[in-house]
A and B are shown apart, each in its own frame.
Chain A
């Protein structure tokens, strides 16, 4: 069963076509990567999937719910994390998590916070204001917030941006464990190709709002004759393959 089904999704802002007739699915339990340069339409796509944006045309179904008609039923079963959307800085980590536990109607709130505190190693700063944490600690808190309702669909916008390699690796490990344990579907927008190669079963390559290619990371490497996804990304972003074919 597909956790996310997107059909002919288009988003236009006046003269700008941010997302141009894209269709894709994310199967339950799979991780799909959204790759593309800045302005390729990744964040817009995530915004559309979260109901922050109304599409110009097309349909989105998340966990069987039509996002145009029934988005709140889907939102209760999904969650989101992005380093570009902050959590309230002046209240403590525990208070932040308590707030979101209420918003997502999580039962046994304190027990859930204690579980997350153990899993994400938050204990040392659980009662510290969120604004006083390091980038790595903030990422852990953001992930705790994203996992507070045990989501069946997780949308992640560059979850390891600005993290040191050690913390980034730790986050990727956590996401792998969570997916294996919960069967959660993950849609991951990232510029980190190692991360995409490690986590994603399928990759959607976006350029100017369109899906210009897709496949599993090994398939893409074979198809483009490259050894790593960075080169594949550059081939697509710079149109090197089309240029070579045209020549």
Chain B
């Protein structure tokens, strides 16, 4: 276990050293979440100023949605981009012939994802509080469960992206940025699932994120914890994580059969 942790730390250390040497990379972590918060925050403030209390409430939902969705986005990108950093530096050959197990590689990428997510989202949360008096932590301890579920969702989506990169090489790298944006409409980030066409709702309810955001709205609107939605989010995350892990393991093995690990960065 100790040696496992050391190997995981070894890969994380390499990424942290990279950030220590590159302020543009550090800036990039917080740039987009902060920008999103500014745009949506001022939009919410403008609407609230014109339409009174009800819309002020909706503005809170909007800001909560923006911040929590960033948790999923940053978590997904944290894993996928850390993997791409290895690919871009053509270092994967050395990593894969070291004693680092594939699950340790994934654990290191997840570790980096947590750090990247915190560095990106915390400034946006502080900004929402300072500029718009929106305190995400007012959701209470349940916020931790929202965070965890969205992070886990980001990780299994990223694992699927990494699997596609193992399958298709660097040609699939654009998915690292785009894939979760494609799930935004189904995740009911800014509106309830009931707004979606009936045919699309099953897709939404198959995503943990839709349950998290239904839960967030119930908490902000009525002050109640919807344990049913949380239970669904957790169960779906378990199922999707197992499926993504299976796909990753199969693609990793397939890459070793095809010889893709020798030329993955090319």
Contact = CB atoms under 8 A, between A and B. Distances in A.
B201 interface: no
Nearest to B86: A88
Interface stretch (A72-80, A164-172, A173-181, A193-201): A72-80
B98 A100 contact: yes
B6 interface: yes
Contacts of A88: 14, 18, 89, 91
Interface residues of A, number: 36
Contact of B258 (A13, A90, A91): A13
Interface string B91-108: 101111111110000000
B72 interface: no
Q: Give chain B's interface residue range (CB within 8 Å of chain A).
A: 20 to 34
Nearest to A72: B99
A80 B257 CA distance: 20
A13 B259 contact: yes
B89 A89 contact: yes
B162 interface: no
Main SS class of interface, A: mixed
A91 B17 contact: yes
Given A47-B259, A52-B261, A145-B94, A98 B253 contact: no
Contacts, number: 98
Contacts of A183: none
Contacts of A3: none
Interface in A37-96: 43-44, 47, 50-54, 72, 75-76, 79-80, 82, 85-92, 95-96
A95 B14 contact: yes
A203 B253 CA distance: 32
Interface stretch (A102-110, A115-123, A208-216, A218-226): A102-110
Given A102-B6, A104-B98, A129-B21, 12 more contacts: A13-B259, A44-B259, A47-B259, A52-B93, A52-B256, A53-B257, A85-B90, A86-B90, A86-B91, A95-B13, A96-B14, A145-B94
Can you list the 7 inter-chain pairs with the closest CB atoms, starting with the nearest? A102-B10, A85-B93, A86-B90, A76-B99, A103-B10, A99-B14, A95-B17
13 contacts: A18-B259, A44-B259, A47-B259, A51-B97, A53-B259, A72-B101, A86-B91, A90-B21, A91-B17, A102-B13, A103-B10, A103-B11, A105-B99
